[in-house]
Chains A and B, each alone.
Chain A
Amino acid sequence: MAVAAKLRAPGWYRAVLGILIGFGFGFGLVVAVRALYGWEVINTDAITTVELITVPFGFLFGIGAFDYWFRWASGAPTIPEDHSGHGATSWRDYFRVNTDHKVIGLQYICTTFFFFVAGGLMAMLMRAELAAPGMQFVSPNTFNGLFSVHASLMIFLFIIPVFAGIANYVLPLMIGAPDMAFPRLNALSFWLLPIAGIMMLASFFAPGGSFATGWTAYAPLSTDTPLGQTFFSMAVQFAGASSVATALNFLVTIITMRAPGMTFWRMPLLAWANFTTSLLVVIATPFIAGSQFFLLLDRALHTNFFNVQAGGDILMYQHVFWFYSHPAVYIMMLPGFGIISEVISTHARKPVFGYRMMAFSLMAIVVLGFTVWAHHMFVSGMFPWLRVPMMMTTMLIAVPTGIKIFSWLATLWRGVIHLTTPMLFALGFITMFTLGGISGVMLAVIPFDIHVSDTYFVVAHIHYVLFGGSVFTIFAGIYHWFPKMTGKMYDESLGRLHFWLSFIFFNLTFGPMHLVGIDGMPRRVADYAQQYAAWNAIISVSAFIFGMTFFIFLYNIVTSWRHGPKAAANPWRAHTLEWQVSSPPPIFNFDEVPTVVGGPYEYGVPGAVHGVFKERVPAITAGGGGAPPPVNTE
C-alpha cells in the first residue's frame, strides 16, 4: 500500500518507474515498427536513439515536472497551490521538483559545478596525454572523445546554465519580485539539465565510445561515426530546451515583475545583462537545435542533408551551427558582464560609470552578435565575398566591449577599493578578458586567421575568453552572493589564495598556447611534432596545478557553508534590493514589497537609496517612471 502510494506521488520512486516505462515504451515502439516493416527487430542504434527521447520524458513525468499541467490539460481538478512544493527546509527539498527560484538557483549551481569538475578531469587526462609527444595514456578514439565531451560539458552544462543558476537566485530578488514569472516552468528547466549532462557522460559507454567529433560535430564526420554521436545531438536538445525555457522566464519576469518604481533605467546591470542574454538565447538556440536535428535525421532516418552524393550541402551545417554558436559566446559572456558591474561598483563603492552606455553596449552586442557567425568559417570554403563583411562586424564588436572595459576601469577610478575575493576575480577578469578580446580582434583579421585557424592559438583565445572571462566572473559572482545564498561567510584568505593561484596558473597554462599555435601546432590532436614538446610539458604541469586550485575553492565553499560565520543581511553594504532582505532571504523574498526610488549604484551620493520598504514614496517616482536617470551628473 505504502509502495503503491509512493509510486503514485511525484518523486524518485515514480521517477524510477517512469524511467522503466519510458524504456519499455521506446523498446516496444522500435521493435514493433521494425517488425511491421519486416526488418531485423533488434537494432541497438535504433533502439538507443528512441530511448534517448522516451527515458528522459519518463523520468521527467515520474519526478513530477508535468503534474500540474497534465491535470489542467486533462480537465482534472488541479491541486490548489499550497506552496508545499516551494522552498527548502532540508537537503531533501533540493532533490525534488521545487518551484522556489532560490532552491532552483542552488540546484542549478551545484549541478553545473558537478559537470564542471567532470569536464575539468577530462582536461587533466588530455593534458596528461599531451605532456609528451607520442601516445601514452589513451587511444586516439578516447582522446577525441575527451576533448569533445570536455567542451560540450563546459559550454552546455557549466557556463551557460551556471549563469542561469546565479541569475535564477539573484535576479528576482534584485528586481523586487517574489519569484520568477513561471515557477513550474522554472523547475522543468532545471530538471532538463541533468538529463543533458548524464547523456553526454553516458556516451562513453556507448558502443564505439563517446562522441568524438568535437563540440562542433561537423558533418559529414558526425553523420558517419558510432552511436555516441547521437548522445550529443540529443543532449543538446535537452540543454537547449532548458536554456530557452529559462530565458523566456527571465524575459517575462524582468518585463512584468519589477518592483514599483523600478524603471528599465533603474534596473541593476545584472538584470540588463540577463535581459539581453535571454534575447540571444531565445532567438539563437533554435538554430543549434535545428542543426542537431538535421544530424539526427541523417543518422537515424538516412535523410541526406549532409550527404553530398545525394545533393546534400555540408557547409549548410556550419552556417546553421555557428548562427547559434557565435551568439552563444555572448550568451556565455553577457551575464558575466552583469556580475562584474555589480561586483565592481559594490566593492569599489562607486556608481557604475556610464550606466546607460553599459546597457546600450549590451544591446549593441546582441545585435552585432548575430552578424558575425561566418568568421568561424574563413577557411571553410564558403563564398569568399562573405568574409570581409564578417571581419568588419566582428571587429566592430570590440567597440561596445571596449566601452564596458573602459567603464569598469573608470568605475574603479577614485573609488574606495576593497580587495575582497569577488573584487580580485573581477580585476582578474578585466585584464584576462582584455587579452582574450585582443586575440579575438586579431583572429577577425582574415589573413592572420587563415594561418592560425584550427590551431592552438584558437584554443588559447577561447580559454582566455571563457575561463579568464566567463569562469572568473562566475567565481566573482559565487563569492559575492555566497553570503546571501547560504547565510554564511566564506573564508577570505582561502578565497584570495584561490584567486592568485588560479590567476597565475591560468596564464601559464593558456598563455604559451598562443606561441605553439602560431608556430604550427594544430588543435584537436592527440600527438604532435617533437618541436612543441617543451612548451607542452610546461602547459601540462601548469594545467595540473591549475586544476588543483579548484579544490581550494571547493574546500572553502563546503566548509564555509557548514561551519562558516553567520553572514549579515548586507555584508557588502550594497544598495541593490537582494541585500535589503535577510541572508538567506525569506521564502517569498520580500515580506513587504519594496519601492524603488533611485538608481541601483548611488554610492557616495549623500542620502541616496535604491529601494525603500516603508510608505515613503518620494515625488520623483510618481507614475512609476519618467524620473531623470542617474547618469552624467558630473
Chain B
Amino acid sequence: MRKHPIVQMLTIGLVASLIGIAIVLNINWFPKSADTAAHPIDTLYDVLLICSVPIFVLVMTVAIYSVVKFRARPGDMSDGAPIHGNTRLEIVWVSIPFVMVTALAVYGWVVLNNVEAKKPDERVINVVGQQFTWHFQYAKNGKGSPGPCGGTGPNQVTTNVLELKDNEPVHFQICSKDVIHSFWVPEFRLKEDAVPGKTTSIRLKPNRVGHYTVVCTELCGLGHSTMRSPVAVVSDQEFTAWLQRQTQPAPGAAPPASGGGGGGGGGGADLAQGKQLFTANGCGGCHTLADAGANGTVGPDLDKLASAASKFGKQLNESPVQYVTQSIEKPEAFTVPGFPKGVMPSTFGQQLTPQQIAALVKYLLSVGKG
C-alpha cells in the first residue's frame, strides 16, 4: 500500500520541476532586446534555466525528504544504515552531469559563433573610453574607415552620442585612453572591455528603434558609476541626416545665428562651443553644472566656479581665467581642499586645442557664477 520512496520522490520532484520551470520562464529577466544577438542569448538562458531547475529540485527534494523521513526521534541513539557507496549510482551521477555540461558547452559555443559572426556591409564605429565618458568616431563619408580607434583621421567625425541605423550591422572598434573600461548596452546583451594599448571589438546588428544607454561595467575610478552615454537606434533617413549634421563644422565655429553681432565679437559662439565641449568631454560625469544639466558630485561644483576661482586664484597669484585653465590643463598642480588628488584626468591638455580650452574656460566662468 505504501509507495516506494523513490517513486514518491520522483513524483514530487517532477511536479516541483514543472512548477519551477514555469515560474522561472515567466520571470521577465532581461531588459528589452534591441539587436539580433539578444534572441539567441535569451533562448540560451532559458535552456540553462530549464536544465538547472530539475537539478536544484532534485537536491532540495532529497534533502527535505531525508530530513522529514529519517529524522531522529527524541532519544534515538541508533546509527543509520551502514551504506558505504554504490558504484552504479556513482557512475550515473558522474556521467549524466558530464553529458549535460558537455552538451550545454557545445550549445554555448554555437551561440557564441553565431552572435560574433562577421556580417556583410558593416559600418565601422570607433568606441573610445576615457575617465569618465565615451566618444564615438564615425567615418564621414558613408561606410569607410574612421581611422584607428582613438586616433585622428581626415575622414573622421567624433560624437558623444552613439547613433545607430536600424537593421544596419556595425563593427565597434573599442579602445581606451587611460584605464580599462567596459562597453555595454544591456539591450544589445554584448560587452567588451576597452583596454589601453589594444583595440577590441564587438559586432552586432541593432533591430529595434529606441533610446538606450552605454554602461561602463569595469571599475574605472571615482566617476565609474556616472560613466554613461546615450545610444539611439534610428531609422535610415534620421541616421543619414544626423550624420550629415555631425560632419558640419562644430556649432562653436558656426557663424552666430543671431545676436552677439555687437561688441561681443563671437562671444555667444564661444559659449556655445564651450557648452558643447563640456558635454562632449564627459565633464558632467564628475561635476555639477546646472546650465549643462550636469549633476556629478565627484569633483567640485562648477555652479560655484566663479567665486572658487577668484578665491583659490588669489592664493595662487592667478587670475580666475588662469586658474581655471590650469585646473583643466594641469589638474595635479592644485586640488581644491576636500577633494581627492589625482582624480581629474590630466589628459585634457593634450586632447583639446588651446582655442577649445579658452572657449571652455570662458563658458565655465560665464555660467558658474554662484
Contact = CB atoms under 8 A, between A and B. Distances in A.
B44 A224 contact: no
Contact of B41 (A381, A395, A447): A447
Given A603-B80, A603-B82, A522 B215 contact: yes
Contact of B84 (A213, A214, A349, A634): A634
A603 B11 CA distance: 31
29 contacts: A140-B224, A141-B298, A221-B219, A308-B196, A314-B196, A314-B198, A379-B192, A381-B200, A395-B105, A398-B97, A399-B97, A406-B93, A407-B90, A410-B83, A412-B63, A412-B70, A414-B83, A419-B67, A434-B55, A445-B104, A446-B108, A446-B109, A447-B40, A450-B41, A454-B184, A515-B27, A522-B215, A522-B217, A604-B79
Residue in B48, B104, B219 with the greatest tally of chain A CB atoms within 10 Å = B219
A349 B72 CA distance: 10
A379 B193 contact: yes
Contact of A438 (B40, B52, B342): B52
A209 B82 CA distance: 58
Contacts of B62: 409, 412-413
Nearest to A387: B112
B110 to A, nearest CB: 9
A448 interface: yes
Given A391-B109, A413-B62, A403 B93 contact: yes
A500 to B, nearest CB: 14
Interface stretch (A259-267, A294-302, A525-533): A525-533
A604 B79 CA distance: 5
Contact of A417 (B72, B108, B198): B72
B191 interface: yes
A21 interface: no
Contacts of A444: 105, 108
Contact of B98 (A139, A399, A453): A399
A450 B101 contact: no
B223 interface: yes
A379 B44 CA distance: 18
B158 interface: no
Contact of A522 (B83, B116, B189, B216): B216
Interface in B80-124: 80-87, 89-90, 93-94, 97-98, 101-102, 104-105, 107-109, 111-112, 115-116
Interface of B: 27, 29-31, 37, 40-41, 44-45, 48, 52, 55-56, 59-60, 62-63, 66-67, 70-72, 76-87, 89-90, 93-94, 97-98, 101-102, 104-105, 107-109, 111-112, 115-116, 174, 178-180, 182, 184, 186, 189-193, 195-198, 200, 213, 215-226, 297-298, 340-343
Contacts of A391: 105, 108-109
Q: Is the interface of B mostly helix, strand, loop or mixed?
A: mixed
Given A442-B45, A442-B52, A527-B225, A451 B190 contact: yes
Interface of A: 135, 139-141, 144, 207-209, 212-214, 218, 220-221, 224-226, 308, 312-315, 348-351, 353-357, 379-381, 384, 387-388, 391-392, 395-396, 398-399, 402-403, 405-407, 409-410, 412-419, 427, 430-431, 434-435, 438, 441-442, 444-448, 450-451, 453-455, 515, 518-520, 522-529, 573, 602-605, 630-634
Contacts of B108: 391, 444-448
Contact of B218 (A218, A224, A446, A448): A218
